[in-house]
Structure 1
């Protein structure tokens, strides 16, 4: 048996190898595009979040100052305590307050 490859055998194998290389190249380029798109989306979200934080800061500060000026009785009327003022601006505070307000009367803690 001869282990050498003849020219016709080589040329018949070459196009399929070139096709495999082109396919691998296209898969790599698609992966690069997907990665670049994900990075772009992350950057856009970070910029939007930073912009909103800067724009909303004066309003948040004003609300915090107004809440701080209220008496304990006034805060109690709107369902807050003095310790809740700093937590009002946390993302999950509204959901926690809603769950606490909808809890059965016997399961609420005394404030």
Structure 2
């Protein structure tokens, strides 16, 4: 057995010399890790905010809906809305369901 190390074997035990390319790669990897952690935190905060809005935002939406429902059609027109827009403004999809179907498709209803 030879106690001397070859150059290839010695390369495993010595640290790699610093080079600008290696330093840039390490810096980019660290920056990417920090950006990933920040995006996870931002996503968690947004998720909690959406959950809070879903649980407690209904109070604000109900207040706004009541205020808009109390306005006349002319007042709504002054602010650029119609009665059908109220659901869209408060974030719900209140679609008016027709109460009566026409007798046949394309039939005109008499007024």
Give the TM-score normalised by structure 2.
0.49
Computing the radius of gyration from Cα coordinates, the structure with the larger value is 2
TM-score, structure 1 normalization: 0.49
